[in-house]
Structure 1
Amino acid sequence: MSEPRADVLVSVTITRLEERMLLQALRAAGLTARAVKPRHTTAFLNDGALAPRLVILRNLSHRELRGMSDRFEHAGVPTLNTPHAVRLCLSKDLQAFAFARAGVPHPETRIAFSADQVREQVEALGGDAVIKPVSGSWGRGVVRVTTPAELAAWSGGWEAVDPGERSFPVIVQEHVPKPGFNERVIVVGDRPVVAYRQVSQDLRTNTHLGGGIEPIPLSHRSAELCSRVVALFGPGFYGIDLVESAETGRLYVLEVNTNPEFAKSVPVHGVDIPALLARFVRSAIEEERAGRLTERKDMAA
């Protein structure tokens, strides 16, 4: 027997602390909410009458997240984030194209479909570049090369595990010298709600990999960059990573994350991200209900 229709379903691979915090906040906001794995979505994907008002996408696997986003989109089920935003967030190459067209400051980024093209693009960027998978999280597969020997080692290792070059494309990105941290800004809806530094001397500053957290005030230029990102991606729930060049002081959007973690950062900066997200979701559902009611009245008039 299927469960009753919920206001909100949280689509998950596993239910982590983040999702438990979010479910608690949604229920405190007066919404019925529960977590669902892909196999639990059969009932409402096959019968739209059972569909929730909204699905919050929190799947860890990028392949799973992309697939569930597409299914909900074509089944007519609203999601947070939207399918457009998910597609951009899951593809670093698409983000780079979008930023370039919109004039959003972003490290110079090239796409490569083979090891030979990677070598060409690294050379075009002056021999010091960062190679990244187009889709990935937690810094997996991110490598900086600064010498021909390092590039040759990367190429040899990649060709050994991927002789058919099926893992391409990758992006080759200008290396921005950091002052020891990235800046992470959490956006809820269209509003930045908190900013903090992810501190590490490593190339990767992810808190999952041990990066430290230092709360900071949200600067005007960071807020302005975030507003430009929201204009491209649409309102939603994002972790926007910014990086300032230690040499020039220029601030760049490094990447936008569709599934930001917050369990480790909330106790440090003190901003109740789950509660803010729950309020945004409740507001969106109330607006959708009001719109449907107005539409019915107009049809009856």
Structure 2
Amino acid sequence: MYEQTLYVWRSTKGETRLKRALILVNAYSKLISAINQPIRLKEEFDKLGVEVDIKKNSIDTAMIIEGEAVSFVEDYDFVIYLDKDKYTSSLLEKAGIRLFNRHEAIRVCDDKMDTHIRLAGHGISMPDTIGGLLCYNEEASIDEAMTRIELIEEKLGYPCIIKECYGSLGAKVYCADNREELLTRMEKVKLKSHLFQKMISSSRGRDVRVIVIGGKAICGMQRISKTDFRSNIELGGVAEPIELSKPFIEISEKVAHILDLDYCGIDILYGENGEPVVCEVNSNAFFGAMESVSGVNVAAKYAEYIYETIY
């Protein structure tokens, strides 16, 4: 048992220590959004009396030594893991460190096909999806998969969406309007994990991003592009405030629960009748634009949720 005081925990034995947290970020990212995210969180944790260090992820963060998972992250109460390196997150968690989000939630969300598989069977509306075949031979001809191509045409039709399973900010997502374009896209992604999806034409160039924290949908924004089938702000989309309807709130919270996410951004498409159709789930969704558009202090709400969870 600990009695809460500003900046320290005081144990029943009279011992005290600082409340400390670590934010681990990707070692290579230079995106402004990625740089600002941990800074905003640190600002909000400072107000709560939690000392926060921001560090780049590294191969010496955790490793296996003499058959045991060993962490070199010491004297922190928890780690906010703003990276997608699944090996380090797994090792840290196995070493007993509480991560936000948890390793498995990050891993599943990082793989778009894995996300849809995990959500399947839970009553979540999603675009019809076909997993791409793995190819290990660069010289292999796409023509050898003609039966697969015909199945894609039959089940999904055109236009058809092709996604690499690992990617963010709208990158590595393609659209094919006919067989020739489909073959070209398939050749491009054949050596990578990928999937094919039915285009939700009623939502072309527009979607809704919902932020969920601690199982509650706290805010949302609509994103619109007049020049691209993708609505991502990084690709020229424009965001505007939106009042989330009950169906959008309910499906967002249900998705976060199924995937065991402490925090996430869920991209939702509009079905033919305006109903929500889940497109993607982002475990480390940037919230800078969301704060500006919605007026909600997302960083504060996330920090407060973590504080209440840990302390």
Give the TM interval when normalised to the shorter protein.
0.7 to 0.9
What is the distance in 2 between the residues matched to 1:180 and 1:131? 16
Of residues 6, 23, 30, the one that matches 1:10 is 23
SS of residue matched to 1:155: helix
What value does the CA root-mean-square deviation take over the aligned residues?
2.4
In terms of fraction of residues, the more strand-rich structure is: 2
> Identity across aligned pairs (percent)?
26
Quote the offset at 1:180 in angstroms.
3.8
Aligned positions of 1:39-58 closer than 5 A:
39=58, 41=61, 46=70, 50-58=74-82
Structure-1 residue corresponding to 2:94: 74
Residue 226, structure 1, aligned to residue 226, structure 2 = no
**Inter-CA distance 5–93: structure 2 relative to 1 (3 Å threshold):** farther
Quote the offset at 1:42 in angstroms.
5.6
Would the aligned equivalents of 2:71 and 2:92 in 1 still touch at CA under 8 Å?
no
Quote the offset at 1:51 in angstroms.
4.3
SS of residue matched to 1:166: coil
Residue 283, structure 1, aligned to residue 283, structure 2 = no
Of residues 229, 253, 272, the one that matches 2:297 is 272
The residue identity in structure 1 corresponding to 2:107 is R
TM-score, reference length from structure 1: 0.82
Would the aligned equivalents of 1:112 and 1:118 in 2 still touch at CA under 8 Å?
no
Alignment: residue pair count: 270
Structure-2 residue corresponding to 1:91: 111
Would the aligned equivalents of 1:51 and 1:77 in 2 still touch at CA under 8 Å?
no
SS of residue matched to 1:135: coil
Of residues 171, 176, 185, the one that matches 1:154 is 185
Q: Deviation digits for residues 105-147 of structure 1, max 9, x if unmatched?
A: 1111110115427624421322431010111111222111121
After TM superposition, what 4+ stretches of structure 1 lie above 4 angstroms from structure 2? 45-49
Residue 145, structure 1, aligned to residue 176, structure 2 = yes
Structure-2 residue corresponding to 1:36: 55
The residue identity in structure 2 corresponding to 1:175 is M
Structure-1 residue corresponding to 2:138: none
**Inter-CA distance 49–254: structure 2 relative to 1 (3 Å threshold):** closer
TM-score, reference length from structure 2: 0.80
Would the aligned equivalents of 2:263 and 2:302 in 1 still touch at CA under 8 Å?
yes
The residue identity in structure 1 corresponding to 2:125 is P
Would the aligned equivalents of 1:88 and 1:94 in 2 still touch at CA under 8 Å?
yes
**Inter-CA distance 49–275: structure 2 relative to 1 (3 Å threshold):** closer
**Inter-CA distance 121–80: structure 2 relative to 1 (3 Å threshold):** farther
Unaligned runs of 5+ in 1: 287-301
Quote the offset at 1:253 in angstroms.
0.9
The residue identity in structure 1 corresponding to 2:159 is D
Mean CA deviation greater in 201-210 or 219-228: 201-210
Unaligned runs of 5+ in 2: 1-16, 64-68, 135-141
